[in-house]
Structure 1
């Protein structure tokens, strides 16, 4: 691995000095004399800068501070930072000495009027990144996360946090490119920049992941339901200014302050000025630091960095001491790796012999596309021994590219080894590579390990990408994909990458995968429960590969017909709305809606927004629709517009032309509960509560001679609750085969089972499922449309009749608080880091999650056990039936007519028999000409 890459280290001096001031005791130049100059922040700053210089090797270095006076943001928004307390006098008096000593320590110091330190950092970081320089920003300020890219990383040394591409997304839920949009939505209380009222991180992340950007969200603001949707629409005029306030400038004019930019020579890390430092330390009473400079000579700089005096109490991690990490292996020096590039058959044969003789081989493919169903192989790498790997380039195509071995012949020679289940293989996200080989007609067997899934089982809340794993567990960094291929419109395909660079990149991936496995696999071996879950995930990866490969046939003409009908109805609704209103208007404008509803048509004001405006959100429309036709038209218009744009217009476009089928991608390593998520398309969000929504499922069809079958578990989470809680009454209801909601109603309302009314059963169903999800009496009251006191009484009555459930909830929350995780029935660990350290609503939410997660997670484990078992039986009996979808607790099949009766009988039996709980599992199945008819 190359080590000649330069590094630019940028320090957020303003962040540092505040931390130093608050972390240090009240030190004085003359100890004991409160009238002498304060020096605590100076001393803390010296320690922090020395430690950073020691920890991070940098070729270029700048420490950036805020300058005095207003910035352009104050002119843009006079209330910007208006609520901030003035800088303490004792800190203000230390600013100039801090600037002085930082310079003496070898750093370039900048403070540019009219902009903030973040803007200067952003400008310098982008200059460095554009030149291929590795940029490290040291700061605790989350705002700087918006700068992160493949060349720019933010480190928070005080909290041992690293915000790289994966780190930002893991911490905030969105990638760095969406951080400004995220901040604009949630606002910044510290800087007094409002966001959208009632919108917190969770909602902001949900919106941005769904719509892709703030601009796209704004364009669809009319679709957002509820109070938050109304708040969003009421904030549309503010959001552009809020985003501008929060956006870090990247084009500050630094020429008056730094000569020679964008060349970096003028900001090279300098030598420490030892004589001047000694005088400075003497002046401010840092006797220990003076002693560290005694005998100054060639090694004095190292002494200063290595021996900071510990004369004051440490109150922030890392301020005086180096953080210790005994678990992370040391990074392997680049000189110890041996990477081969295979151009000849002789070298190929030698490596093939090594593959044949190895106990385990790490394997990686380089391809033409991230779409696993269409990607073709460009090259293949292997590693059988840590530090050694080989790359076989196959289809690199650029001017003067060296001759390569023919791909078809190489794959033909590798096929026996690849398809041999006795030859154990390892990968990172093996399902993708399995698809890629299948595109070339090779069905790889013997994949026994996946480092992505190992991480998912062991550390579910952390990023599972290879770069993150190598950094976290090996202390190794590697080549970034965009370093090779570029990004955006200038990105090249991998087959255009120089073979020497491609070989290093691919070999490194296989090598690191093998290294990560050697760290994670022993941890799984040491825990029988986690090893079981890992083996379940490996088996599920194989089954999901089969499901994805099968795909599901789409009736494109039917979807086109539905889109046309929806479009006609949407236009009709607009016309009807205009007629009722007596004028055309923007159906997505809260302002215009308010004027028509309340001023023109005299509808009652149901509620107001936080700013005092008359609300027209989803809840208000639903309430008004009970008595007025216009709100009902608007609700239908919104629902159909979203259905058309999201599903009927797009679903057929996602079908693979050569198969006519949709091949969704199932992501295993995402949800903390173990549930799968699907995308391209997202099968789990197809709306089924309206007739129009259910019609979308009619377009999921079977070919001639086959039908669709849908099998799912009945009341699975309630059955799991009965098993986990061991409540006698709940166990009895399921064991006796009773209607559990009717049984609950009989218990709660104190009536005979035969006397339960349909309304009482409905109440009991809401109570049963509500308590699983931690519903409060207030939530239950709102859901049932009753008084809160009555709802509380129902909950009390429920717990009286099912005391085991209450005990389970209390004990589970206590366990989670002590261990910060809960477990499924099968041993999957569901991490809950906020349950012990959080407060208020976040802690309550974590407690509700602690109660529900074991049930959701166990349900996820059960459906994975089921799909694996069913696939094994389909293979063993050589059935023609194909599993084509897994959606929540449902398995969907394409079944030849000759096998329908077998499927009706055997699939529910297999699903019910995958585990023995204290209550019987029950799976039900339906068959029809399409997915909807199978329900």
Structure 2
């Protein structure tokens, strides 16, 4: 089993500083904490983990400071001797080859918790190197704590021995005891033994709070006094496990150590043993990609749904293997007001998976599993698959029988392979959670059960194993499979009972859920099932062309650099750009090295030809690996088509995303990107049709702001960018130059995304003063836009969220952050989200309307959704009829103060149609 070691860097440094004497080198520089850290890291290296990361706190406040201004307020300032050792520590850690992770807005513990959770879900064993008691809440099978100073480990039994509670009770334990160092309130005079005693008696913090009146004596008075603050304490001590990260576990591999840098550092700080070990180092070092780095900011926790009284214990699950059992469940289904259903399969790819079993639930805590294809040696006899599915088909296809699923689109796709077209989907718990609060949590079942039911589900790895040893679900024994699968249906129903009352209490959110998200599920399922036809030969030709062009760029890059080098090596590129060519390093990595990422290269592309050549080379390499080579490999053998997966619950603003493959990221601004669309074709006698909303977000801005100038331009059918340029520069529209129109376009779109004068200046290649003047003139000509932006920011600060035209909410957690950059980012999102979210709602409404019109027709099919564009496959003789119907339904998807214009084209491939 692969192993991931997560090093709590902040804990390391503090522990080493306080545990060791105040050492110093000959120059008088403090070295005690450094010495301790180096020794602990050397011990980690000897264990040879597969993946490793050094996680440290980023400077600045975190979401906990927003929740509670007094958080960590009692901490004394960092001693000067300790502060002086931070920079050399990071240099040594980086030189040793450790990935260094620092994420703004959260603490190191939250990054560790997220990575540990992700690794655990993917069958990677996790070792957390720390002395911090808070991290004990993460311990479970496969996640262990290690204290390298005492060389001791702590598993679940160790947590129980040390604290007197289980790992899953640590959060409640810490909430009760509080923390004087972090200034977490807790219960006055409640020590570890008292907290453990209460939790043993009442089970949880909620249980202790509910029974506070039963606790006698002075400690009981203290408990009752603390009741209002205990929920806050629980929030403060709970480690996040869903921080959005820009990297994944496979990226966390050791780089080759920088031996010369280590020798210099070890010599300076007089680490003789480390020097001796270094000089004995062989070439047997691990070579891997550069360390993952992080500067991204994850959202703070959003408000949770209130938890109604729901049974949180284990359910009673029946394994159905006889006709009599099946008949009894069919009778229950006939009488049920709501049916929760789920399928077990052989693959996550719904278009290639085979069904293994079905689980059903009509009453909370009581569910069944019907195995259909478990084929391990000695497997008991199961009911025939075709018999069971034939019996379920009338019920599943009955639109009058309400059903609920968790990510039901997957199960609908699976059942479609067996001739079952599920109808009557009334609810989907993934979408209930997503509409209720898109940013509060991930929307998978495990996360939702934990958040809204306080229930720990059985994980797939627990029943099927992990990694290379993982077996297919068809190989899982029936009793184990029943416990896992029936739980899915049971928890789906329980989640619905928890979430639906919340949505019912908010009429706007209920409308978004019932009128947009739920009706869209079968539409997306149909698109996924249909897939899109790909010209594999065309892709092969394009791949060869891209390879040739990449070779040419390589030659040009070598000529520009003056010698050959590996264009895919950031280290070599770093040396050429910043050492040999002397270009300025505009961005640094967390280890202090000059960055060569896309943003860094763009920042210096105007100063030398090489950065642009590298950017062009990388762009073509990505096109080749992601599309021209991959698409041909993933053509479904069953259908001869490529099938993407659309996700409703992934983007906070309501946008639909696409994966496996991502069909929404094919670039359209480059010739090579547009050429890829030529490989998306129609069958003989058919055409590809593309329908695209014209400047929809600008039209939404005009509607929401009510600005007379914008409204007038759109109603007149003017070129909006030319009209804006005419207003800003005081010209007649026909006198506007191409550069002035380009500037106006940058302003029009930039303002929606919160672009500053600095950003506009950089985009247009002008000085900041001139860009500021452009923006001032824009707002003077379009005062309604300025008023709308101010009002939206004000509303966001007041309510904590903004809304789309149809009532979808986006919570913005950093609006009150003391970190100016975080606060400004949240304000930019507040202005943009109503427009981007409204655009997402409009195209979803259009898809629902178009799908209803297409139902029963055999001359047109909806294939793809790409941002503001819908792509169809239309029989050649029906193009005109279908074109006008699509235009009508798309333009009628919303009533705005300006026309919704839809541009539609058709051709033998997607490129011709667009």
TM-score, normalized by length of structure 2?
0.71
Aligned to 1:587: 567
CA distance in structure 2 between the aligned counterparts of 1:786 and 1:81, rounded to whole angstroms: 51
Q: What is the CA–CA distance in structure 2 between the aligned matches of 1:366 and 1:837, rounded to whole Å?
A: 44
Query: In 1, are the aligned partners of 2:696 and 2:900 still within 8 Å (CA)?
Result: yes
1:307 aligns with 2:215: no
**1:852-871 equivalences in 2 (<5 Å):** 852-871=832-851
Secondary structure class of the residue paired with 2:373:
coil
2:428 is the alignment partner of 1:450: yes
> 2-side partners of 1:884 and 1:895: how far apart?
10
How far apart, CA to CA, are the structure 2 residues paired with 1:444 and 1:618? 45
In 1, the alpha carbon distance for the partners of 2:153 and 2:607 equals 71
Give the whole-Å Cα distance in 2 for the aligned partners of 1:901 and 1:863.
Answer: 21
Structure 1 residue 819: Cα displacement? 0.6
Query: Contact 1:364–1:381 (CA<8 Å) still a contact in 2?
Result: yes
The counterpart of 1:849, out of the listed 820, 823, 829, is 829
Corresponding residue SS for 2:344: strand
When residues 813 and 494 of structure 1 are mapped into structure 2, their CA distance, relative to the original with a 3 A threshold, is same
What does residue 488 of structure 1 align with?
467
Q: What is the CA distance between 1:639 and its match in structure 2?
A: 2.8
Cα distance in structure 2, aligned partners of 1:845 and 1:256? 43
Equivalent residue number for residue 345 of structure 1: 323
Q: 2:380 aligns with which of 382, 385, 402?
A: 402
Q: 3-state SS of the aligned residue for 1:836?
A: coil
Equivalent of residue 740 in structure 1, options 717, 720, 724: 720
SS of the aligned residue for 1:652 comes to: helix
Q: Secondary structure at the match of 2:362?
A: strand
1:48 aligns with none
Question: What corresponds to 1:817 in structure 2?
Answer: 797
Contact 2:145–2:155 (CA under 8 A) maintained in structure 1: no
How far apart, CA to CA, are the structure 2 residues paired with 1:841 and 1:804?
Answer: 26
CA–CA distance in structure 1, aligned partners of residues 567 and 738 of structure 2: 39
The answer for the alignment partner of 1:530 in structure 2 is 509
Distance in 2 separating the partners of 1:643 and 1:288: 62
After TM superposition, give the deviation of residue 200 of structure 1 in Å: 5.6
Question: Does the Cα contact within 8 Å between 1:470 and 1:512 map onto a contact in 2?
Answer: yes
Cα deviation 1:735-780 (Å, max 9, x = unaligned): 2222211221121111223332222222111111111111111111
- Return the match for 1:791 from 758, 767, 771: 771
Q: In 1, Cα distance between the equivalents of 2:232 and 2:608?
A: 68
**Aligned equivalents of 1:261 and 1:616: distance in 2?**
41
- What is the aligned partner in structure 2 of residue 756 from structure 1? 736
Bigger Rg over Cα: 1
Task: Please say if 1:681 is aligned against 2:661.
Answer: yes
- SS of structure 2 residue aligned to 1:742: helix
Counterparts of residues 494-893 of structure 1 (less than 5 Å):
494-535=473-514, 536-578=516-558, 583-589=563-569, 605=583, 633-875=613-855, 878-893=857-872
Q: Can you give the 5+ residue segments of structure 1 that lack an aligned partner in the other structure?
A: 1-11, 19-63, 85-110, 127-140, 145-155, 161-186, 214-242, 272-285
Q: Distance in 2 between matches of 1:300 and 1:531?
A: 40
1:638 positional shift: 2.9
CA distance in 2, matches of 1:780, 1:383: 56
Question: Tell me, what secondary structure is at the counterpart of 2:380?
Answer: coil
Contact 1:881 1:896 in 2 (8 A): yes
Q: Counterparts of 1:135-534 in structure 2 under 5 Å?
A: 267=161, 307=219, 310=222, 317-318=229-230, 327-329=306-308, 332=311, 334=313, 337-461=315-439, 462-534=441-513
Which secondary structure does the structure 1 equivalent of 2:840 belong to?
helix
Question: Given that residues 822 and 830 in structure 1 are in contact (C-alpha distance below 8 angstroms), is that contact kept between their aligned partners in structure 2?
Answer: yes
Instruction: Give yes or no for contact 1:69–1:114 (8 Å, CA) kept in 2.
Output: no
Q: Residues of 2 paired with 1:300 and 1:517: CA distance?
A: 30
Q: Find the aligned partners of 1:555 and 1:640 in 2 and give their Cα distance.
A: 20
Report the secondary structure of 1:854's partner residue: helix
- Cα displacement string for residues 683-709 of structure 1 (whole angstroms, at most 9, x for unaligned residues): 111122221121111111111111111
- CA shift, 1:584, in A, is 2.6
1:355-399 CA distance string (max 9 Å, x none): 112121111111111111112221111111122212111111223
Q: Quote how far apart the aligned CAs of 1:914 are.
A: 1.5
In structure 2, C-alpha distance between the alignment counterparts of 1:583 and 1:288, rounded to whole Å: 71
Contact 1:697 1:930 (8 Å CA) reproduced:
yes
What is the rounded CA distance, in whole Å, between the counterparts of 2:86 and 2:518 in structure 1? Answer: 43
Q: 8 Å contact 1:748–1:801 — kept in the other structure?
A: yes
Contact 1:607-1:614 at 8 Å conserved across structures: yes
Superposed displacement of residue 327, structure 1: 3.7
Contact kept in structure 2, 1:606 and 1:615, CA below 8 Å: no
- Counterpart-to-counterpart distance in 2, 1:288 and 1:266: 22
Name the CA distance, whole Å, in 2 between partners of 1:564 and 1:905.
39
User: How far, CA to CA, are the matches of 2:545 and 2:230 in structure 1?
Assistant: 64
1:52-131 correspondence to structure 2 within 5 Å: 68-69=19-20
For the Cα contact (< 8 Å) 1:310–1:320, is it kept in 2?
no
Paired residue secondary structure (1:684): coil
Give distance in 2, aligned partners of 1:311 and 1:909: 64
The worse-fitting range, judged by mean Cα deviation, of 832-841 and 343-352 is 832-841
What secondary structure is seen at the aligned counterpart in 1 of 2:658? strand
> Is 1:934 paired with 2:846?
no
Partners of 2:235 and 2:546 lie apart in 1 by: 61
Q: The residue matched to 1:402 in structure 2 has which SS?
A: coil
Kept in 2: contact 1:473–1:519 (CA 8 A): yes
Give 1:906's aligned residue. Answer: 885
Question: Is 1:375–1:439's contact at 8 Å kept on the other side of the alignment?
Answer: no
CA-CA distance at 1:440 after TM superposition: 1.6
- CA distance in structure 2 between the partners assigned to 1:266 and 1:673 by the alignment: 43
Q: What is the Cα deviation at residue 652 of structure 1?
A: 1.1
User: d(CA) in 1 for partners of 2:582 and 2:700?
Assistant: 46
CA distance in 1, matches of 2:573, 2:761: 30
Instruction: Name 1:148's counterpart in structure 2.
Output: none
Residues 189 and 219, structure 2, Cα contact 8 Å, conserved in 1: no
Matches of 2:536 and 2:625, distance apart in 1: 15
In 1: Cα distance, 2:37 partner to 2:100 partner: 34
Q: TM-score when scaled to structure 1?
A: 0.69
